[in-house]
């Protein structure tokens, strides 16, 4: 059931206030991907234990599997049951239509990523479609996030090395970022400073001096995608500089699958799946709690 218009607006106002608090308090909201109800429970339990504000997010694949309204209802139910501060982000929405559907469903944060669906999209096309989403979001007050270039990698366990020569081609240029924000009116800019979707054999390296330049150039929020597989000290510094949102997916998926395989191997005669999930949820919860600590958001929730 879609929430009432007044509730959606109130939730979006609260999300804006949460981002403002994060920026002022030099911490980041962790944005944790949901694959199913078990990962949602892991995030909720971590948020409750750490008294931290969190985002949960779904991208196109999860939306197709779970449904926008179902995600909204599940999140609202768990918020009410556990008393946590939690908001929803529609991550990497590939089209204007998908983004508007997220706005209508009452998601507080919308990431429009035109270049993901079309790597050859022109700057003009990306700006025009991003502006369209920004206009639509004014209906509810949802925060809109975007970037002008395709962001590489995938939320998975990779075996290949990171090709820094290639990804440096897409590093954020502060002046370009400033122009993009001014032209589109977005609330959150997704910066590229060495972060990359997925988990790789070698730890990622973030260019914090570039992040400082980006922070100086922008008045809006800054997010970092591809937070998995990144040494925690980078995030400790990034939030001091002014990052207010960090996306985590692959680290959760790895913990989920590895633990599930272990549990299945140890319980070959158990077919009641619900009885097998406690250890899996706990493993993912530990990942989320560790990220909350490095994002400096523990103890920052308002409920």
Confidence label for 87 from pLDDT (cuts 50, 70 and 90): very high
Domain count, the chain: 1
In this prediction, residue 149 has a pLDDT band, given cuts at 50, 70 and 90, of confident
pLDDT (average), residues 83-103: 97
Domain that holds residue 208: 5-294
pLDDT confidence of 1, banded at 50, 70, 90?
Answer: low
Question: Quick check: is 299 in a domain?
Answer: no
Residue at token pair 């990306």: 126
Q: Is 258 a catalytic residue?
A: no
Quick: pLDDT tens for 50-60: 999 999 999 99
> Considering Cα of 131, then 137, then 143, then 146, what sign does the dihedral take?
negative
Nearest CA to 95 out of 117, 110, 120 is that of 117
Residue with tokens 């370009």, as numbered in its chain: 176
Is the residue at 302 inside a domain?
no
Query: 107 lies in a domain?
Result: yes
pTM recorded for the entire structure? 0.94
In a domain, 301, yes or no: no
Structural domain contains residue 46: yes
Write the CATH number for 116: 3.20.20.70
- The angle at the Cα of 300, spanning 298 to 302, to the nearest 5 degrees, equals 135
Q: In angstroms, rounded to a whole number, what is the distance separating the alpha carbons of residues 94 and 115?
A: 8
pLDDT confidence of 152, banded at 50, 70, 90? low
Q: Identify whether 111 is part of a domain.
A: yes
Within-domain flag for 300: no
Residue 303 is assigned to a structural domain of this protein: no
* Ramachandran quadrant class, 270 (left: phi over 0; alpha: psi -120 to 50; beta: rest): beta
Please give the pLDDT value at position 158: 72
Q: Which of 11, 35, 91, 187 is catalytic?
A: 91
Rounded Cα gap, residues 207 and 195, in angstroms:
9
């Amino acid at each position: 059931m879609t929430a009432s218009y007044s509730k959606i607006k109130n939730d979006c106002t609260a999300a804006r206030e949460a981002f403002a608090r994060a920026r002022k308090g030099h911490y980041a909201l962790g944005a944790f991907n949901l694959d199913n109800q078990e990962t949602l429970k892991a995030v909720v339990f971590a948020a409750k234990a750490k008294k931290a504000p969190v985002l949960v997010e779904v991208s196109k694949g999860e939306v197709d599997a779970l449904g926008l309204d179902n995600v909204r209802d599940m999140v609202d139910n768990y918020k009410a049951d556990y008393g946590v501060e939690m908001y929803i982000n529609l991550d990497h929405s590939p089209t204007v239509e998908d983004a508007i559907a997220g706005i209508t469903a009452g998601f507080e944060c919308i990431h429009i990523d035109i270049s993901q669906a079309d790597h050859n999209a022109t700057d003009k096309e990306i700006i025009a479609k991003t502006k369209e989403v920004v206009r639509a979001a004014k209906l509810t007050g949802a925060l809109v996030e975007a970037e002008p270039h395709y962001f590489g990698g995938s939320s998975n366990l990779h075996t290949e090395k990171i090709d820094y020569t290639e990804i440096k081609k897409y590093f954020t240029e502060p002046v370009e970022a400033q122009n993009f924000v001014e032209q589109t009116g977005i609330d959150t800019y997704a910066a590229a400073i060495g972060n990359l979707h997925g988990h790789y054999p070698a730890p990622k390296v973030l260019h914090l001096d570039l992040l400082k330049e980006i922070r100086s150039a922008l008045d809006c929020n800054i997010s970092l995608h591809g937070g998995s597989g990144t040494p925690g000290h980078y995030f400790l510094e990034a939030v001091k500089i002014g990052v207010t949102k960090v996306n985590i997916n692959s680290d959760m998926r790895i913990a989920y699958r590895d633990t599930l395989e272990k549990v299945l191997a140890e319980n070959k005669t158990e077919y009641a799946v619900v009885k097998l999930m406690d250890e899996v949820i706990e493993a993912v919860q530990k990942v989320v709690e560790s990220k909350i600590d490095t994002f400096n958001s523990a103890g920052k929730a308002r409920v």
